[in-house]
Structure 1
Amino acid sequence: MTVRAVCLAVVAGVAATALGTAPVAAAPIAASGIKWSECAPELGAPRGTGCAPLEVPLDYDRPSGRKITLTLSAAGSLDAPNILVVNPGGPGESGIGTAKLVQSSLPPQLIDKYLVVSFDPRGVGASAPVNCGDTAGLFPRPMPPNRPVNEAGEQQRVDIARKVADACARHAGDLLPHITTQNAARDMDRIRIALGKDKLDYLGYSYGTRLGATYATLFPATTGKMVLDSVVDPTLGGYEAGFQQDPALQRRAEQFFAWAAAHDDRYHFGASGEEVGRVWGTVRDALTAHPIENKVGGAELDDMLASAMYVDTSWPTLADAVARYRGGDPSGILNAAKQLAMDPVNGAQLAYNCVDDNWPSDWKTWHEDTARADRKAPLFAWLNTWYSAACAFWKAPAAPPVKIGAGKTPPVLLVQAKDDAATPVEGARRMQQALRGSRLVLAGGGNHGQFLFGGNACVDKPVADYLLTGTLPGADVGCPAVPPPT
């Protein structure tokens, strides 16, 4: 789960004191152990970003043993009185560009108050990355249908999942036991210490809410202002969370179909959501039978639909592409596949997901649970299962569990959209119960990633006030939805 779909804003223009324009030998933040410099070109950091390395233990049970190096990024003024550490989600998403994206999107009253710091978590990008090798050859193009047509088709996908797990173990087996959310939270405390701060102020999106809540549980005394946006359910493991997502994704797709029906004059899919759904099924069947350039079939259309469920600003792109395909022009589908399709193997994401929780190792359990979920979420149940199926064969043991909210954890500010499919609203409710005293800003609609990127002033104001004053709202806040795109 990630906010990459909403992190498409183009940012430009930086103040003269911003990190990206400071000399390489710029003075470090007072009392900190970090010296910022220009980011290496291969990191692709936005202009106005500074970078720095930080060494941490690979294994916190052996803190004097092998070390790995994290890569940090920062944007804003080095003279800012506060530091906001940000995680964009995933797991497995790079944070190098997130610092500048968030800093440039802050409301005016916060711009001078915060230096924004992000980082590639361990196992990701420029921080001891999990590399599963060249796995492209494991995946036929196009992929076979997500819902298996027979036992042989299902076994083909199971074999791919097993080979992915084997490849990750072969190429990164020494890292896999240590790529956990607990260790990433411990890394964040090392970042706090290196930045010279008594408390960690933090903004986390999607999976970043799990990371933040884990930090608050392990380090309650050093938890400062904390905003958790698009909240992961703290009571579910990764296996169960996938089945929680399935019906939420199905409901979100029905909203997309209803939206397309409301614009039937443009797309000509049908005048009701049910009609659009039937047309969508016909298009999926046609692509399965006759893939475009042997690249995009029905399974790839499923991928695109799932990705488009994160934010409704991607709905016109996908609807236009399918409309053009029905009119005889497949180029839109090919382009949409590049923009919206999911990466079949994200080694870092698998590493976190497969080790953070216990997963069934008996494929019969996966089959039975997915077949049951398929009855209520036929568009997504099998897709979601295949995306995580390598965890059934993972070669690293599960980490000891952390019960979110155990002990005297401080209250935080939660932000959530009511119809978010990637992190359903039930998770935010349960996180609020786990982190006692927390407040919830609940928006209508279903966009994943609300603060700064949802265009909703009703959401942004209480969050900005909290980051400015450190005072939580006196009660939960309800906000209307931002209208879907026209």
Structure 2
Amino acid sequence: MTVGAARLAATAGAVVAVLGLVAAPAAATGGGVKWSACPPEVSAPRGTGCARLAVPLDYADPSGKQLDLLLSAAGSLDAPEVLVVNPGGPGESGIGTPKQVVASMSPELRDRYLVVAFDPRGVGASSPVDCGDTSALLPAPMPPDDPADAGQEQARVKPARTIADTCVRRAGDLVRHITTQDAARDLDRIRAALGKDRLDYLGYSYGTKLGATYATMFPERAGKMVLDSVVDPTVGGYQQGFEQDPALQHRAEQFFAWVAQHDATYHLGATGAHVSQYWRGLRGDLTAKPVEGKVGGAELDNMLASTMYTDTSWPTLASAVSRYHAGEPGGLTAAAAQLAQSGVDGPQLAYNCADDKWPADWATWHADTTRAAAKAPLFAWLNTWFSAPCAFWRAPTAPPLKIGSGKVPPLLLVQAKDDPATPLTGAQRMQQAIRGSRMVLSEGGNHGQFLFDGNSCVDQPVTQYLLTGKLPAADVRCAASPAPDA
């Protein structure tokens, strides 16, 4: 559940406002944060400033062991207001986010806001959860996502168990305090350090969960808050995965239909059904005979799932498959290699597994995934393997928090109707949970709308809200951005 660096960077242009590291007075954003050059190892974009902020490891013992969070900023320190942004994940580094956001803002927003982001606790340069070298547990090619028998299923269950054990062991005491509620407490420390009475906030994907958690825990300090690509606040991570499955399948069918519309370019089928049939056959072929012994059916599934987040990546995948169809496999191997570099995402697992209780009986996962695969055959097992370590995560989970309980102020929600990662039902339930909230709804399906989908109908009401603090008088409905060319 992340917009991701590639998604954020896709439409970012040249930055106009550049952080003044020396000339601007520190008082512009409160004296608690001292901006300076970013550490070279974080590879921050040019024009980004960084700062460190100490927060308690355990908020039940605020004077005990501390963690250092790395903050980043872009824009002008003379700006009268601060917008804190979270790009999602969980586990996504925020260090490059301010530069990307500032680059896509309207001039009015650039003049109004210094944009600040951070590596949340357990992430990147903020005491990261490190699962070590797990490459031996993730062979290339991976066993097929859809297990043909109990042996194939156990070939995926066993490494999931080992990954969970390794991550928890290596994280030590830290793993007990990597929760969204703790990250929300950190947000409040950031707000205070920036010298602001209220937190103005923009969160994408998982960042919507973090923002809604903050607004529920600290309603009197919640300022202008935009939640884009909204996580369902009524169910835990286990059930959210099963909500994603049919949404991903639906988006894949839209992708197949788009490929068919451009059959003169890709030659994979003249109808969506024909492309879908070709795709199913390709999965089987690659499982039986992986390309270069490395790219099998599981790798193809991973490529398809990643491509569903934004249609700007559709031509790349379609071209790679078309070239394979014509006898040139290089595009598939390159794409698979790029995805494989990420390995196990320890911070993401730590947040996902600790935020909610997950079934500990694998038979439950097997039965639920088998049912889900009947409606989402391309994604149900893939999604289950993504979260499978949570079945074996032996660490305490966060206490339950009902989003919207108490006097939570209304928020602005931004959503795409066919978003595959955070389905529309989640945004609708968030609107019900936080009464008075408004929704800007695009008819499209790209994950991450405001500033990065090039849709002025979406951007305008969100910009006005951030400038004035006034929610739209009613929900806003927008046409989708045009589909990409072949």
Q: Which interval holds the TM-score relative to the shorter structure? A: over 0.9
Mapped partners of 2:472, 2:424: distance in 1: 19
Partner of 1:2: 2
Aligned AA (2:363): K
How many angstroms apart in 2 are the aligned matches of 1:24 and 1:475? 43
Alignment-derived partner of residue 168 in structure 1: 167
Is contact 1:24–1:37 with CA below 8 Å preserved after alignment?
no
Q: Distance in 2 between matches of 1:401 and 1:342?
A: 35
Q: Does 1:46 align with 2:45?
A: yes
Deviations 1:57-105 (A, max 9, x none): 0011111111000000000000000000000000000000001110111
Equivalent residues in 2 for 1:237-248, closer than 5 Å: 237-248=236-247
Offset, 1:27: 3.4
C-alpha change, 1:328 and 1:227, in structure 2 (3 Å) is same
Q: Whole-Å Cα distance in 2 between the matches of residues 76 and 32 of structure 1?
A: 17
Contact 1:168 1:347 in 2 (8 A): yes
- 1:295 paired to 2:294: yes
Aligned equivalents of 2:163 and 2:69: distance in 1?
25
Q: CA-to-partner distance for each residue in 1:397-428, whole Å, 9 max, x for gaps?
A: 11101100000000000000000010000000
The residue that corresponds to 1:206 in the other structure is 205
Q: Is the 8 A contact 1:70 1:119 kept in 2?
A: yes
* Structure 2: distance between partners of 1:12 and 1:6: 13
Letter of the 1:2 partner, please give it: T
Decide whether the 8 Å contact of 1:307 with 1:342 is kept in 2. no
* Offset at residue 339 of structure 1 (A): 4.3
Mapped to 1, the partners of 2:206 and 2:410 lie a distance apart of 19
CA contact 2:68–2:127 (8 Å) conserved in 1: yes
Of all paired residues, the percent bearing the same amino acid is 68
* Matching residue of 2:398: 399
| Pairwise CA distance, 1:295 | 1.7
CA contact (8 A) 2:289 2:296 kept: yes
**Matches of residues 53-452 of structure 1 in structure 2 within 5 Å?**
53-339=52-338, 343-452=342-451
The total of aligned residue pairs comes to: 484
CA distance in 2: counterparts of 1:357 and 1:24, whole angstroms? 46
- Give distance in 1, aligned partners of 2:75 and 2:262: 42
Alignment check: 8 A CA contact 1:304 1:342 kept: no
The answer as to whether partners of 1:303 and 1:341 remain within 8 angstroms in 2 is no
Could you tell me whether the CA contact under 8 Å between 1:287 and 1:298 is conserved in 2?
yes
Mapped to 2, the partners of 1:206 and 1:413 lie a distance apart of 14
Asked if the contact 1:288–1:299 (Cα under 8 Å) also holds between the matched residues in 2, the reply is: yes
The 3-state SS of whatever aligns with 1:332 is helix
Q: Distance in 2 between matches of 1:246 and 1:79?
A: 46
More moved, 104-113 vs 372-381: 104-113
Superposition CA RMSD, Å: 1.4
Q: For residue 472 of structure 1, what is the aligned residue in structure 2?
A: 471
Answering whether residue 446 of structure 2 is matched by residue 457 of structure 1, we say: no
The CA deviation at 1:342 is: 8.1
SS of 2:7's equivalent in the other structure is coil
Secondary structure of 1:103's aligned partner: helix
SS in 1 for 2:26: coil
Ranges of 4+ aligned residues in structure 1 off by more than 3 Å = 9-15, 23-31, 338-344
Q: Distance in 1 between matches of 2:258 and 2:303?
A: 17
Residue 264 of structure 2 aligns to a residue whose secondary structure is helix
TM-score (norm 2): 0.97
- TM-score, with structure 1 as normaliser: 0.97
Distance 2:150 2:30 in 1: 62
The one-letter code sitting in structure 1 at the alignment partner of 2:224 is K
**Alignment deviations for residues 102-130 of structure 1 (CA, whole Å, 9 cap, x no partner):** 01111121111000000000000000100
